Amino acid sequence: MTDEECAVGVRFPAPIEVEWAVFLEAWLGFSASTRQLGEVTIVDVRGRFTLIEGEAVHELLLDLFRDGKRRVLLNFRDVSYLDSSGLGQLVRGLYTARKNDAELKAVDLSPRAQEVLRLTNLHKVFPDYPDEQAAVRSFSPTY
C-alpha cells in the first residue's frame, strides 16, 4: 500500500488516513490491519464481517497482491459477527488470490462460520487450523 491508502484500501491523502480508519472502525465497528510474519502477511480483522466489511478487505487484498504479497492469512480472532455474505466475500477473496497466483487462508473462524463452511463443503478450501502459527506453517514453501 502507498502512503495515500488506509488500512482498508481506500485512497485518501496521508493526513486523512488515520482519521478515516478510526471513522470506519467507530461507524462500522470494523477494522483491518496488516503485519508481516516471515513471508506471510497477516490481516487482523476486528468487529463485524459482512458484505460491506468484506468489500473493504477485498480491496485490501487487491492492494497486497499488487504489492507482490503472495501468502496472506486472514485472522478472524477478533471478529464478533460473520454472516453468509461475509463468507461469500471470503470465497471471492480466494478466487482473487488464485487469479493473482497467491495463497489466501483464514484462521480463528467462529464455530458458526466453521459449521457453515462444513455444510457448504468449503471447509476443504478454508481448513480449520488450531492456531495462527499452524496456519502460517501451512503455506507452501518459497521457491
For residue 60, the domain's CATH number is 3.30.750.24
In a domain, 130, yes or no: yes
Domain limits for position 91: 35-137
Residue 39's beta-bridge partner residues? none
pTM of the model: 0.79
In a domain, 24, yes or no: no
Are residues 40 and 72 in contact, defined by beta-carbon separation less than 8 angstroms? yes
In a domain, 28, yes or no: no
Question: What residue type is assigned to position 95 of the chain?
Answer: Y
The per-residue pLDDT for 23 is 54
Per-run averaged pLDDT (10 residues), the chain, 143 residues: 44 45 60 92 92 92 95 92 89 95 93 84 85 93 65
Q: How many domains, the chain?
A: 1
